Structure 1
Amino acid sequence: MKALWQSEEIADAVNGIASASFSVEGVAFDSREIKKNDLFLALKGEQADGHNYIKAAFEKGASGVLTMQPTAYPHVLVEDTHRALEALGQAGRRRNHGKIIGITGSVGKTSVKEALRLALKAIAPDKVHSSLKSYNNHVGVPLSLARMPKDSRFGIFEMGMNHAGELSQLTQWVRPDIALVTSIAPAHAAFFRDEAAIAEAKGEIFEGLQPSGIAIIPYDSPYRDQLMAKAKKQGAEIRSFGFGEGATIRAQDVIQEADGRILVRASLPNREIIFPLSMSGHHWVSNAMAVLAVVDALEADITLASLALGEIKGLAGRGQRFFIPIGEGQATIIDESYNANPASMAATIAVLGNEKKSGQRIALLGDMRELGENSPQYHTALADPLSRANVSHAILVGEEMKALAKALTGKIACDWVPDANEAEAKILNLLKADDVVLIKGSNSLGLSNVVSSLAKRGHACSI
């Protein structure tokens, strides 16, 4: 592989001193994730000090280390490895001359990032770089920038926040040519006055736009005008996506097919396209429109991008499906275990309601965290989506789900359990052939462990 960084480049970027000449092909801060010829970042955190794992990193194949302490291994010595990571990320951004896309939003940013990556990969194989996992904070964003090859044609960066002002810093590092807001919803509501304040904070992404940059806004959002005003203040060209007339990229028709796939007819400024989408649900149609809006803004091949959208299978924690054997049949598990807020809960419950299986529709739902003083109301409000989806049985996990359990009394069969372990036991006792189970909740509950345990029993689903 071609070197990502030379030690001299690293030292120059971070104002450090290189002990020897070396080259690296990747960058990582977790010694367990080190690959051959990686640069290990010895970051010092509240729980662990990366300097204690330098030997382990080199035993796994690291070529060099960014460190605050002299070491016998090839290294670049700096005063502060966190500041050095930020500087290396900014250097990675400066040396790239491709098109950079920044993505934020209350719901859907990782799904859109992954879908956009696959769409652009169909257009420019081996020239698309994107942040891994949900690396979207003050460590993940500069790390993702530092990992970007200098000849990348497209760079896609997710940016997250749970307090006002955080996106301002991240977007200045990314300096996107195109900035997309996927949605506004009461995620991290405990830290904001109201949803308008969340919209204001999400709009900070436009502050880092390059001159002549493009802002892409959710047309159907009640905060559309607020986001537009924020983008106009930065001199951005404004485009939009959604379902309503007036959206730059608009889903005009959505046709559900018997095999679970859907056909979408979308209108663009100068044409219409029809394409299949493997992922079901209103929210995935919206995600697809957001992706096409970015591709259109890039003046890239819309046809190739739309065909790539038709090939997307479920993402782990965000719609991935698998079967597990039950007697002579099988049950379907829908893995939506990566985090939850009121909007994403309602969207995925609606997907469960559209399932055509003959068995039970079971919802295993965990607490939605960081919703502040209105948390009980947000949880209770899920009773209506569950009823509309004709859910047969709800298994509710965590203290905050007690409010929903009370609201479901006499309406839907319901079990409340305190933790993920008991939830798994309930599911296994309840499951029958042809049942469909939706699993969703905040990360801290560990429902992904339930998914992993169940997945060991089964096999992947094609849609």
Structure 2
Amino acid sequence: MTALARILEWPADEAEDTLHGGLWDASSLERAMKGTASADFVVTGVEIDSRDVQPGDLFFALKGEAMDGHRFVEMAFAKGAVACVVDRPVAGPHVLVKDTMEALERLGAASRARARGPIIGVTGSVGKTGVKEMLFDGLERATRGDAHRSVKSYNNHVGVPLSLARMPARARYGVFEMGMNHAGEIAALTRQVRPNVAVITTIAPAHIENLGSEEAIADAKAEIFQGLERGGTAVIPADNPHFERLRKAALRCGAHVVSFGRSAHASVRLLDTVDAIGGGSLVTVDMGDRRVCYSVAAPGEHQVINSLAVMAAVRAVGGDLGAAGVALAEMGGLAGRGARLEIVVPGGEPDAAGQRRALLIDESYNANPASMRATLAQLGRTGAKRRIAVLGAMKELGTHGPGYHAALIEPIREAGVDYLVLVGDEMTPLARELENGVEPGENAAKSLGKPAAFAHCANVGEALDRVRAFGLESGDAILVKGSNSVGLASLVSELNKQEG
């Protein structure tokens, strides 16, 4: 059978749907969670936030430090929940358990136990959500909808069991993201996911405030190998300085190691990449016994390297490389993680259609030193009349923060930024570096011989005012990037609805 036929043909070995489209019934929930159901019912989804409940959902009334989900049971039923998981009787169908968080973990474990296909776990300092989405798109395309993944960034002690609990019994593949702030967290998550393939995208100084060093970060990420199923595969970055550390950690867990990158020793090795018409890259990869050519729609060398990890993982689970290549060619950036938006702006010359448009690059969800450099480098390669960067503070860097922020002056200069807006107190060391590089009375940085004006703002509202005062014009490229807590997503939203 050809690769195209496999992509187009509906899987022949579909699992029997004993629940007629449902996800869990009352009896299976009782067994999985060791609880007592008040009635017979079938649920089609699982939710922990009453605001997001959809008709057919099972609502978990979780208890946190400041909030008790039992307060929202009535709201969940009003929004269409079929039943709730509670630790006290309520009016309406429910499953009574001793502890609702423990029950969610039990349900996640039951879902993992009934899985009929391989599971991929993904972690890393940068790119894990993007790689997870790339993997899902490729596997879903090959199976015509029988792949499952954790949505958004549900990668913590609540998000992982919730994502597992949502996995349909028919799923032929599962892809789960795992994140951490401290050592030991991924070890707990990976033992729930029990991946057949564990991917580490890269190691960079994210969360270094809590872990102290990049070596400690590498060790914390390498905990993902502890949950690997017997005979599992570890997919690791060959070009990373901590490659050998990761490789040894994987081998200690009995993993088969597959590496990816530019290095000569990489199992999945990048041979060539050229810019594609309309953006993105054309990629040629050596996979040992074959060469594979495909396109990556998302621009940037970091996206090319991420695609190598995707191809390595797809092959490790016996997936369809052709379908994965098609998905990579069609998948653009995610909201907050590289989405490229065409926005209407007030200034400049109109195009042939009479519109004034600029490119808005939305990287507002996260930032660390490695991702900042990669994204600024891509901005520098982006054709534009002017390049504007709105950079928010990088969080969780601790005592390393001032040095990492100040060091951004180099990639900013290399990118040829014309106007720079810095947001947050943590950006003060960079602002000082920029001020030291100009003549007295000027507020500009010497960027490859071309001064780039800059502003240092305390908050997002002030940053938006500065961008608007600068005046966006047709042909501009605007990069917005910072840690999520800075709140730059609201600035993206405001610019995206701006009218010329």
What TM-score range do you get, normalising by the shorter chain?
Answer: over 0.9
1:348 — aligned with what? 375
Cα distance in 1 between the residues matched to 2:120 and 2:376? 30
Equivalent residues in 2 for 1:94-105, closer than 5 Å: 94-105=113-124
Contact kept? 2:281, 2:304, Cα under 8 Å: no
Q: Which residue of 2 aligns with 1:87?
A: 106
Q: Which residue of 2 aligns with 1:334?
A: 361
Deviations 1:327-364 (A, max 9, x none): 3321110000011100011110111000112x210110
**Which structure is larger by alpha-carbon Rg, 1 or 2?**
2
Q: Does the 8 A contact of 1:280 with 1:351 survive in 2?
A: yes
Correspondence 1:259 to 2:278: yes
Match of residue 391, structure 2, among 354, 365, 368:
365
Letter in 2 for 1:350: A
SS at match of 1:129: strand
CA contact (8 A) 1:28 1:38 kept: yes
Give the superposition deviation at 1:326: 2.1
Mapped pair 1:386 → 2:412: yes
Residue type of the alignment partner of 1:168: A
The offset of 1:393, in angstroms, is 1.2
The residue that corresponds to 2:54 in the other structure is 35
Aligned to 2:289: 270
**Deviation larger for 376-385 or 444-453:** 444-453
Post-superposition Cα deviations, 1:130-168, rounded to whole Å, max 9, x if no partner, equal 000000000000000000001210000000001000011
CA apart distance, 1:458: 7.0
Deviations 1:414-446 (A, max 9, x none): 100001111111112221221111001011111
Choose from 394, 409, 414 the match for 2:454: 414
| Alignment partner of 1:448 is 2:492 | no
Which deviates more from structure 2 when the two are superposed, residues 345-354 or residues 422-431? 422-431
1:322–1:458 contact (8 Å) kept in structure 2 = no
Matched with 2:402 is 376
* Shift >4 Å, 4+ stretches: none
Which one is further off, 363-372 or 5-14?
A: 5-14
C-alpha distance in 2 between matches for 1:326 and 1:439: 16
Residue of structure 1 in register with 2:154 after alignment: 135
Work out the percentage of aligned pairs sharing the same amino acid: 48
Q: Which residue of 2 aligns with 1:423?
A: 463
Q: Which runs of 5+ in 1 are unaligned?
A: none
Distance in 1, matches of 2:425 and 2:314, equals 43
Q: How far does the alpha carbon of each residue in 1:382-402 deviate from its partner, in whole angstroms, 9 at most, with x for none?
A: 100011111111100000011
Matched, 1:210 2:229: yes
What SS does the aligned partner of 1:310 have? helix
How far does residue 258 in structure 1 lie from its aligned partner after superposition? 4.2
How many angstroms does 1:259 deviate by? 2.2
Match of 2:423 among 397, 400, 418: 397
Which residue in the other structure is 2:304 paired with? 285
SS at match of 2:65: coil
Match in the other structure for 2:331: 312
1:44 maps to 2:63: yes
C-alpha distance in 2 between matches for 1:426 and 1:117: 39
CA distance in 2, matches of 1:304, 1:257: 19
5+ long unaligned stretches in structure 2: 1-19, 351-355, 439-444, 446-451
Once the two structures are superposed, residues 187-229 of structure 1 have per-residue CA deviations (whole angstroms, 9 ceiling, x without a partner) of 0110112100100010000000000001111010111111111
Distance 2:318 2:72 in 1: 45
Correspondence 1:167 to 2:186: yes
* Matching residue of 2:16: none
- Alignment of structure 1 residues 7-26 onto 2, 5 Å: 7-26=26-45
Give the letter aligned to residue 149 of structure 2.
S
Equivalent residue for 1:75, pick from 94, 99, 107: 94
- Count of paired positions: 458
